[in-house]
Amino acid sequence: MTEIDERQMCEALKQSFPPVHAELARDLWPDVLRKLDARPSHVPWYDWALIALSLTLLLVFPRLILVVAYHL
C-alpha cells in the first residue's frame, strides 16, 4: 500500500465509525447483582450423571486416578 492509500483508508475508517465515549452513563454493577439474585443456580441432571459415572469408573478402575491426575 502506498502512503496515499493508507491515508484514504484511515479517513474512510474514521468517517465510518462513530467516536467512542469512555464514560458510562450509569453504574452497571447493581444491574449485575440484581440479575444474579433473580436466577437461582440450577445444576442439570446430566451433570449429576457425569459425576456419578466418573466416580463409579474411579471406584471400579482405581488406576484411572493416575491417568486423571496426569491430565490435570
pLDDT single digits (tens) 5-59:
888 998 888 888 877 777 777 888 999 999 888 877 788 999 999 999 999 999 9
- End-to-end Cα spacing for the chain: 48
- pLDDT value of position 1: 62
> Does residue 66 contact residue 58 with C-beta atoms inside 8 Å?
no
- pLDDT value of position 48: 96
- pLDDT value of position 52: 97
The answer as to whether 59 is a domain residue is: yes
The answer as to whether 27 is a domain residue is: no
Which domain covers residue 49, as residue numbers?
44-72
Total count of domains within the chain: 1
How wide is the angle at C-alpha 47 spanned by C-alphas 61 and 35, nearest 5°? 150
Average pLDDT, integer, range 59-71: 91
The answer as to whether 54 is a domain residue is: yes
In this prediction the pTM is: 0.44
The answer as to whether 64 is a domain residue is: yes
